[in-house]
Amino acid sequence: MDKVYIGKVVKPHGIKGEIRILSNFPFKDKVFVVGNEIIIKDKSYKIMSYRVHKGFDMITLNGFSNINDILFLLKQDVYFDKSHLSLTDNEVLDDELITFDVYDQAGNIGKIVDIFMASSNNKIIRVMFDREVLIPLSSPVIKKIDKKNKKVDVELIEGM
């Protein structure tokens, strides 16, 4: 099973077994769905309820209805089975995007070497052509992401 990192269990919430997850996963709407299964400590747990509270993802799991039942999950990483993610052609995970080639309008080929978050909560890709170029992932500079052929077409601005 190929799994993808979703976030981390940070603490319990209340006394009825609800857990608080810190996550910046971009496709939460596909993961945090009642009935889906998440993976914690190599064991699957079915999501029974989901809500957002103060920027955290709050879930309850099947079989846990008391704070004492979920204490062993604290500070653990949360994963999801990648085969159940069902992303569209326009949606790409960061770890897949790092393997893509980047083509500019002049025909130069670069490689994505890193993806990181900027202070404005935007993702930035670090591309190595003959020099390093930083491109915001939500930028109009990115013309097309071709998931099938693993390539990204960009139109670099003068001076980039």
Q: For 74-95, what is each residue's pLDDT tens digit? A: 999 999 999 898 888 778 888 8
Q: What are phi and psi of 123, to 5 degrees?
A: -85, 140
Whether 160 is covered by a domain: the verdict is: no
pLDDT at 159: 66
Cβ atoms within 10 A of the Cβ of 25, count? 19
- Contact 153/143 with Cβ under 8 angstroms? yes
Q: Are residues 113 and 142 in the same domain?
A: yes
Residue with more model confidence, 96 or 139: 96
Q: What are phi and psi of 5, to 5 degrees?
A: -70, 130
Quote the CA–CA distance of 143 and 11 in Å, as a whole number. 41
Q: Are residues 108 and 65 in the same domain?
A: no
pLDDT at 42: 93
pLDDT at 59: 97
Q: Are residues 110 and 129 in the same domain?
A: yes
For 149, the token pair is 């052929």
Residue 64 scores a pLDDT above 90: yes
Note the pLDDT tens digit of each residue in 123-135.
888 999 888 988 8
Whether 159 is covered by a domain: the verdict is: no
Nearest to 127 by CA among 157, 104, 95: 104
Which CATH number goes with the domain that contains 55? 2.40.30.60
Whether 89 is covered by a domain: the verdict is: no
**Average pLDDT for residues 61-73, to the nearest whole number?**
95
Judged by DSSP in three states, 33 sits in coil
- For the chain, the 3-state helix, strand and coil shares in percent, each to the nearest 5, are 10, 45, 40
**Average pLDDT for residues 56-70, to the nearest whole number?**
95
Residue 31 scores a pLDDT above 70: yes
Instruction: Write out the residue range of the structural domain in which residue 80 sits.
Output: 3-84
Has this prediction a pTM greater than 0.75?
A: yes
Q: How confident is the model at residue 5 (pLDDT cuts 50, 70, 90)?
A: very high
DSSP letter string over 53-109?
Answer: ETTEEEEEETT--SHHHHGGGTT-EEEEEGGG----TT---HHHHTT-EEE-TT--E
pLDDT at 71: 95
Residue 160 scores a pLDDT above 80: no
For 64, the token pair is 């846990």
